[in-house]
Structure 1
Amino acid sequence: MKNIILITKREYLTQVKKKSFVVLTLLAPLMMLGFGLFIAYLMNANTSSYKLDVLDKSGLFDGKLKSDENVQFVYLSPNSEKQLVQLMKDKKGDDGILIIPALENSDYKKLEAETRLLVSETMDKTAKKNVSDQLSEVIKKEKIKKLGLQEAQIEELNASFDLKIQNVVDENAEDSDTIFGVKSVLAMLLMYATFMFIIIYGVRVMRSVLEEKNNRVVEIIISSVKPFELMLGKIFGVTLVALTQFVVWIAMSVGGALFFNTGFSKMSTSPVETSGMPMSQNIGSMIGEVSHALLSLNYPLIIGVFILFFLLGYVFYSSMYAAIGSAVDNDTETQQFTLFAVIPLMIGMYGSFTIMNNPDGPLAFWLSIVPFTSPVAMVARIPFGVPIWQILLSLVLLVCAVLFMVFVASKIYRIGILMYGNKASFKEIWKWIRTK
């Protein structure tokens, strides 16, 4: 045990004393936020704005098509159709011409069939749906008016039903779109962080083992310590590095939530009051609601489950990576074995996207119980609430799987770490495992 502690200390201090570790630990949350904003910008950057000339021969749509950032409507005389079409052909006109025929005998189907949108270039799907939805809404209101209903009655018919859910087991449990959205985002962040860090730090262990093997440094090291102690020391050292980063990030996140909740809580208002507010106050109100939703979660349970499952999942997969690093001679040869570590994690991550829709569904349950996927799936479920017996069952199975994987990895490590110039096959690795 003393040797394991010494190796763990060496691996840990070697990593945390690097300037790159300090910089990344402090700046990573800001970099992740910036990356998310950049992705959002890229998604919006690919949208275009269109100016459409409206030739309404029916008279039904005059002033009823609303312009926005995506589509701008310009109403022109229907008699200018030929000139506008020619300008468009010459690439001198607007982006499109919406030609609406005359309405005959209230035949809305014929109106729809003969309505045309002329364009000179491909129009994006969002703008097309925008135009189509507005046309449909106007026709819908006209049909309802034919039935003798007033505008207020039409709005009442279109009003959605706000269904409130009450939890009879936990009366303090809140159910709102804001809280559900916060839980979904938090679940995705925890899931993605677990997935990425298990792979990143697992590969770091594998390359560290491979580097010492190729440099023949390991021959000197194992003259003083057992291969099993060396493997566990490396795994625990890198585990503490990851845990240090997580503690710093959790503290920064909770501190940020407290700051925003205090700073913007006074701006939180009802939806009616918000509608007349300036944009800055609307943003402040939204931030206040989100931070309040964040602080309403059971953080001790979420953080505790996250750390436990991350640590156990990391030890499970890093043992596998350490065994892979000891069994090969170069990075190229690792490709045939790393899939055994990556594929289960990918199944857990992509399967966990269904958790956002139904956290208590059968797929969510089994993904969070099976040890190969539970480190990722359980942390995705925990913001939504998981029964204690399921958490304990998953932990027991994961601990058993970790002990088994460490045992198997140590069998491979103690022989593979001293094998040079011999490409390990699955048959040979199986022999190493069976060797007493």
Structure 2
Amino acid sequence: MKNIYLITKREFLTQVKKKSFIILTILAPILMVGFGVLIGFMFKANEAEYHFEVVDKSGLFAGQLKSTKEITYTFVPPNTENALIQNLKNMEGTDGLLIIPELKDRNFDALENGTKLLTNKKIGMDTKNAVAADLSNILKKEKIKQLGITEDKIINLDKNFQLISQNVAESDRPETDLAFGVKTALGMGLMYVVFMFIIIYGVRVMRSVLEEKNNRVVEIIISSVKPFELMMGKILGVTLVALTQFTVWIAMSVAAAIFLNAGFSAMQKNVPAGQEEMMKNLDIQQFATEVSHLLLDMNYATVIGVFVFFFLFGYIFYSSMYAAIGSAVDNETETQQFTLFAIIPLTLGLYGSFTIMNNPDGPLAFWLSIIPFTSPVAMIARIPFGVPLWEILLSIFLLIASTLLMVFIASKIYRVGILMYGNKATLKEIWKWIRS
């Protein structure tokens, strides 16, 4: 244990003292926020505003076809149709001409088939669909009116049914859409954190092993410690590095949330006259309070405990595999054929967990959260929805047993492979190392 402690300490200090680690730890959250803002700006920058002139020969759409921020409709007399068509190519400020034919004998199908949109520039499918939706909504109202139904009844027909659900086995209160959304966001967020943690820092363990192997430094280290102690020290050292980064990022996120909340509260106190209703709709503080109450209503002790356990043991399980891969190859190019054994089951667990939202107690959700290769991500995605205790204990037992087995197998591969040079390891040779 002393040797493992010394190697863990050395691996941790070596990593955290690097300038790249310090810069990445501080800038990563800022870069992620900036990247999100940049993506939003790119979508915003590519938005376009269109101005369409409308020739309405039916007389149904005048006064009902409303302009939006993206599309402006201007109605023109029907007798200008031919002139507008001839000059449309050279018209500035007008992007298209919407021609609606006459409505004969209340034949709405003929009117729909005869409607045309002529443009002098390329328009996106979203814009075309938006124009079609605007026309369809008006025609729908006209068809309903033809049946003798009033406007109030039309509005009542379009009203969505609000279904209140309650799981009497778990709670004595109904579950709102917000509660379901919070559970989904929490499960997906925690699952994605574990997935990225295993991938990023597992690869870091592999590269560290490969670097020391290629530099022949490991030959000196092995003379003083056992290969198993070296492997576990590296795994635990990188684990502490990752936890340090996450701690800093969480602290920065909390500080940013407090700062933004204080700034928004101050802005609410100085609302200009006439803007109270708008600010009421943007009451982030009230929304955050509702979300926090929902989180507290959960069995958060179980959620946190399960997350920490599967977070750590899932990482040890896969990082042992990565350490074995790093010791069995001579360069990073050769790692690609072996890393698939780690990436594929994790990816299956990640994408398979998206189905958990529709049926958290389904057979796929059960098996993904029990099988050790997928349980580190699937169980975490499932736990906010509530999991029977016996399933949690079974999954924990299988993951502990599988982790010990994986560490044992990885140590046997590591023991031989760490001193192998110039010989490309095959699956057959690796199997011999395990059996030896």
Q: Is TM > 0.5 for Structure 1 vs Structure 2?
A: yes
CA distance in 2, matches of 1:131, 1:395: 55
Closer, same or farther in 2 for the Cα pair 1:411/1:229, shift >3 Å? same
Closer, same or farther in 2 for the Cα pair 1:215/1:408, shift >3 Å? same
Matching residue of 1:215: 215
Q: In the alignment, is the contact (CA less than 8 A) between 1:371 and 1:397 conserved in 2?
A: yes
Matching residue of 2:334: 333
Q: In the alignment, is the contact (CA less than 8 A) between 2:325 and 2:339 conserved in 1?
A: yes
Matching residue of 2:56: 56
CA deviations on 1:414-433 (whole Å, 9 max, x unpaired) are 00001111111111111111
Q: In the alignment, is the contact (CA less than 8 A) between 1:257 and 1:291 conserved in 2?
A: no
Q: CA deviation at 1:105?
A: 0.9
CA distance in 2, matches of 1:136, 1:354: 34
Matching residue of 2:149: 149
- Higher mean alpha-carbon deviation, 312-321 vs 165-174, is at 165-174
Q: Secondary structure at the match of 1:75?
A: strand
Q: In the alignment, is the contact (CA less than 8 A) between 1:195 and 1:349 conserved in 2?
A: yes
Matching residue of 1:377: 378
Q: CA deviation at 1:372?
A: 1.0
Matching residue of 1:282: 281
1:12 aligns with 2:12: yes
Closer, same or farther in 2 for the Cα pair 1:329/1:27, shift >3 Å? same
1:361 aligns with 2:362: yes
CA distance in 1, matches of 2:35, 2:360: 27
CA distance in 1, matches of 2:202, 2:220: 24
Q: CA deviation at 1:315?
A: 0.7
Q: In the alignment, is the contact (CA less than 8 A) between 2:323 and 2:410 conserved in 1?
A: yes
CA distance in 2, matches of 1:60, 1:136: 12
Q: In the alignment, is the contact (CA less than 8 A) between 2:3 and 2:225 conserved in 1?
A: yes
- Higher mean alpha-carbon deviation, 299-308 vs 3-12, is at 299-308
CA distance in 2, matches of 1:301, 1:159: 39
1:256-275 alignment runs, 5 A limit: none
Closer, same or farther in 2 for the Cα pair 1:156/1:352, shift >3 Å? same
Q: CA deviation at 1:293?
A: 0.9
- Provide the aligned length of Structure 1 versus Structure 2: 428
Matching residue of 1:428: 429
- Higher mean alpha-carbon deviation, 399-408 vs 295-304, is at 295-304
Instruction: Read off the aligned partner of 1:52 and give its amino acid letter.
Output: F
Instruction: Read off the aligned partner of 2:379 and give its amino acid letter.
Output: M
Instruction: Read off the aligned partner of 1:107 and give its amino acid letter.
Output: N
Closer, same or farther in 2 for the Cα pair 1:191/1:6, shift >3 Å? same
- Higher mean alpha-carbon deviation, 365-374 vs 203-212, is at 365-374
Q: In the alignment, is the contact (CA less than 8 A) between 1:260 and 1:291 conserved in 2?
A: no
Closer, same or farther in 2 for the Cα pair 1:167/1:256, shift >3 Å? farther
Matching residue of 2:291: 293
Instruction: Read off the aligned partner of 1:166 and give its amino acid letter.
Output: Q
1:183 aligns with 2:183: yes
Note the residue ranges of structure 1 that are not aligned, 5 or more in a row.
269-274
Q: In the alignment, is the contact (CA less than 8 A) between 1:182 and 1:294 conserved in 2?
A: no
Matching residue of 1:271: none
Instruction: Read off the aligned partner of 1:399 and give its amino acid letter.
Output: I
CA deviations on 1:4-51 (whole Å, 9 max, x unpaired) are 111111112222233443443344334333333333333444333221
Instruction: Read off the aligned partner of 2:126 and give its amino acid letter.
Output: T
Matching residue of 2:321: 320
Q: Secondary structure at the match of 1:118?
A: strand
- Higher mean alpha-carbon deviation, 46-55 vs 340-349, is at 46-55
Q: In the alignment, is the contact (CA less than 8 A) between 2:49 and 2:69 conserved in 1?
A: yes
Q: Secondary structure at the match of 2:51?
A: strand
Closer, same or farther in 2 for the Cα pair 1:120/1:180, shift >3 Å? farther
Q: CA RMSD in A?
A: 2.6
Q: In the alignment, is the contact (CA less than 8 A) between 2:99 and 2:117 conserved in 1?
A: yes
Q: CA deviation at 1:238?
A: 0.6
CA deviations on 1:211-245 (whole Å, 9 max, x unpaired) are 11111111110111000100000001111221223
Q: In the alignment, is the contact (CA less than 8 A) between 1:66 and 1:73 conserved in 2?
A: yes
Q: Secondary structure at the match of 1:60?
A: coil
CA deviations on 1:104-159 (whole Å, 9 max, x unpaired) are 11111111111111223332222222111221111111112122222122111211
Note the residue ranges of structure 2 that are not aligned, 5 or more in a row.
269-273
1:411 aligns with 2:409: no
CA deviations on 1:83-113 (whole Å, 9 max, x unpaired) are 2222223364622211111111111111111
Instruction: Read off the aligned partner of 1:130 and give its amino acid letter.
Output: A
- Higher mean alpha-carbon deviation, 10-19 vs 72-81, is at 10-19
Q: TM-score, normalised by structure 2?
A: 0.90
1:187-266 alignment runs, 5 A limit: 187-253=187-253
Q: Secondary structure at the match of 1:129?
A: helix
Percent sequence identity is: 63
CA distance in 1, matches of 2:177, 2:37: 22
CA deviations on 1:268-326 (whole Å, 9 max, x unpaired) are 9xxxxxx984544432x145314531452144333332222121111111111101110
1:391 aligns with 2:389: no
CA distance in 1, matches of 2:23, 2:286: 30
Q: TM-score, normalised by structure 1?
A: 0.90
- Higher mean alpha-carbon deviation, 34-43 vs 394-403, is at 34-43
Q: In the alignment, is the contact (CA less than 8 A) between 1:210 and 1:326 conserved in 2?
A: yes
Q: In the alignment, is the contact (CA less than 8 A) between 2:55 and 2:77 conserved in 1?
A: yes
CA distance in 1, matches of 2:36, 2:188: 13
CA distance in 2, matches of 1:52, 1:234: 65
Q: CA deviation at 1:170?
A: 3.1
CA distance in 2, matches of 1:180, 1:30: 29
Matching residue of 1:348: 349
1:76 aligns with 2:76: yes
1:98-109 alignment runs, 5 A limit: 98-109=98-109
CA distance in 2, matches of 1:50, 1:124: 11
Q: Secondary structure at the match of 1:55?
A: strand
Q: CA deviation at 1:63?
A: 1.8
Matching residue of 2:136: 136
Matching residue of 1:87: 87
Matching residue of 1:272: none
Closer, same or farther in 2 for the Cα pair 1:168/1:92, shift >3 Å? same
